[in-house]
Amino acid sequence: MPAPKLLDRESESPSGSTTPHVPDGQVSSADLEEDEKFCNLLQDRELLSGPNRRLRDLQLLFSVSRDFMRGFRALHFVGPCITVFGSARFEEDHPYYKLAREMGAALAKMGFTVLTGGGPGIMEAANRGAKDVHGRSVGCNIRLPFEQSHNPYLDRWVTMEHFFVRKTLLIKYSYGFIIMPGGFGTMDEMFEALTLIQTKKLRSFPIVIMGSQFWAEMRQFMDHMLKGATISPEDLDLIKWTDSVEEAVAHLQVKAVKQFDLRRHRVPKSSPLLGETALEGGS
C-alpha cells in the first residue's frame, strides 16, 4: 500500500479507534494540548508555526499592529536614543555589568536617552547607569511565560508580545548601538543592525562592540568572512571594537552627534488630547 501524501495524514486514524495511535517519537494529543497552552502565552510561536485558521491569523495580525501602536505611542517622545544590547544573565557584581553601567552613565551625560530591552543583566546595568547621573532611561520589554519583568531603573517602558516588533522598536529610535557580551539574542540584534546598515535600509549609525575578550572569536570569524568574500572591507568599517568607555563616547560623538547634527534635534511635542505624555528628566 503506498504511503499517504503529507496533506492526507492529519485526517488518518486507525480503524476502530477513537483516539489516534501515536508511534514512539511522535506528538501525542496531550503534547498538542500543552503546546496550545504555551502558544496562548507566547503568540510568536503560534504566529510562526505555519498557516492558522483565517480568523486566527487575522487576530494575530491585529496583535502585531497593536504591539507597534503601543510602542510608537510610548517611544515617540523619548528623544534621541542609543540602544544597549547584551545578556540578561549577568549579575551586578560581574565586570560586564559594571562596564555596561558605566557606559549607560556616559551615554546619558552625552544627552542620549538610554534604550534597552528593559530586562535584567546588561539591560538593567545600562538603564541603572543612566539613572545614576539623572539621565533618561527607557525599556522595550518582552512578555515571556517564564520570565522577564522590567528592571526598576526605567522612566518609561513598554511590554511587547512579539520579539520582532520589539527588535524593530529598539532600532527605530536609536542613533547608535552598543553591543555588550551576550547570547543568541544579542547576536541576533547585532547582525540585524549590521544587515540593515549594510543593505542601506538603515543609515550608517555607529555600532560599538565592547568586550574584546568575549567577542574575540566572533571578530576572527568576521575576518574569515572577509577572506571568503562574503562581506566587504567597508562592512567591517561599520564596527568600532573597544573596551574603553571613553573611546566609545568619542566614536559616538563623531558618528552620531556630529553626523546627524543631534544638537539640533527636537523632540516632538506630545498632545494631552491624544493621551500622550512627554518623557521628563534628563541631564
Please tell me the predicted confidence (pLDDT) of residue 143. Answer: 84
Whole-structure pTM value: 0.83
Please tell me the predicted confidence (pLDDT) of residue 5. Answer: 58
Give the C-alpha separation, 273 to 276, whole Å.
7
CB 252 within 8 A of CB 176: yes
Please tell me the predicted confidence (pLDDT) of residue 16. Answer: 41
Domains of the chain listed by start with CATH number:
29-66 (no CATH), 78-264 (3.40.50.450)
φ, ψ for residue 195, nearest 5 deg: -65, -40
Burial 61-89 (b: 16+ CB within 10 A, else e): eebbeebeebbeebbeebbbbbbbbbbbe
Please tell me the predicted confidence (pLDDT) of residue 83. Answer: 98
pLDDT in tens, the chain (283 residues): 666 555 554 444 444 444 444 455 566 777 666 655 555 556 777 888 889 899 999 999 999 999 999 999 999 999 999 999 999 999 999 999 999 999 999 999 999 999 999 999 999 999 999 999 999 999 999 887 665 678 999 999 999 989 999 999 999 999 999 999 999 999 999 999 999 999 999 999 999 999 999 999 999 999 999 999 999 999 999 999 999 999 999 999 999 999 988 876 677 888 788 777 888 765 4
